Amino acid sequence: MLSKMALDGCSYDDVLKEAQALGFAEADPTADVEGHDARAKTAVLARLALGCRINESDIPCTGISSLTKDDFVYAKTLNSTIKLVGTARRSSDTTVQAFVTACLCPMSGIIANVNGATNVIQIVSDALGTSHLLGAGAGRFPTANSVVADMVGIASSSEQKQQKQQQEPFPVPFDSNIVADCDYTSKFYIRLNVKDQTGIIMTAGKLCHDNGVSIHSVLQDPIENPDNVPFVITTEECRRSQVEAFAKSCSEQEWLLSNPLIMPILR
């Protein structure tokens, strides 16, 4: 869906209808478009790769339903595109930052250039650096293949258990001392839709300062409709809670038309 929005300039509603017609999205698309499916996968990958057990409900999750054409226009200005990304990363010896959200992805990276119904996993490790695994992520044949593989895996595990073969199922041992840090750090993209008037950017700058958010850039295309002007603030590294506090402060301003859209900028 995001590939169609980025490459063809389609609206969210149009690409959702097409995805449902092609069988890539369910009749009730909530699990896909709101990131719930990606959140479940992120929790599993955090257990496999990092040895920590994170409840799905504890992983911050934001879907793609609030994205507009404007976001892809500004993403292109920043030589980036937008992808739904699930992230689990060690932030210290005892904490893991896990979250699922649409992200601004630089076109110089591999993730930004994976399109269509394809999934990619990026693995960053001390020994290997950065590596990627790509594969089909939707459609009847990839889904059927995964279902059969799971059935075979369950049957094999049961047979091994019956034979009393002890085998550690996880590559990284579970560490109960690792906890989830849901207030993750990143550089952020913030889109605000406002009714044009003087002093908005000055006020937004002050609100950023008040909430400890350092501005990296302010982007605004020429105004076409003064009753609905989208502009973007990109930030330096900060906490998600600081950006959310800034967004809440903006919501109290009479010039703001809708809740600000917040996206991390992929590292």
Side chain identity at residue 264, one-letter code? P
CB 56 within 8 A of CB 43: yes
CB-CB neighbours of 129 under 10 Å:
8
4, 41, 161, 164: the catalytic one is 41
CB 244 within 8 A of CB 213: no
Side chain identity at residue 117, one-letter code? A
Residue range 16-53, pLDDT digits in tens: 888 888 777 777 878 878 999 999 999 999 988 888 88
DSSP track, 76-135:
HHTTEEEEEEEEEEESSSSEEEEEEEEEEEETTSTGGG--SSEEEEEEEETTTEEEEEEE
Domains of the chain: 2-140 (3.30.360.10), 184-265 (3.30.70.260)
Q: What are 135's strand-pairing partners?
A: 119
With 0.75 as the threshold, say if the pTM is over it: yes
Residue range 44-79, pLDDT digits in tens: 999 888 888 888 988 999 999 999 999 999 999 999
Residue of 25, 47, 20 whose CA lies nearest to 36: 25
Q: Active-site residue 83, yes or no?
A: no
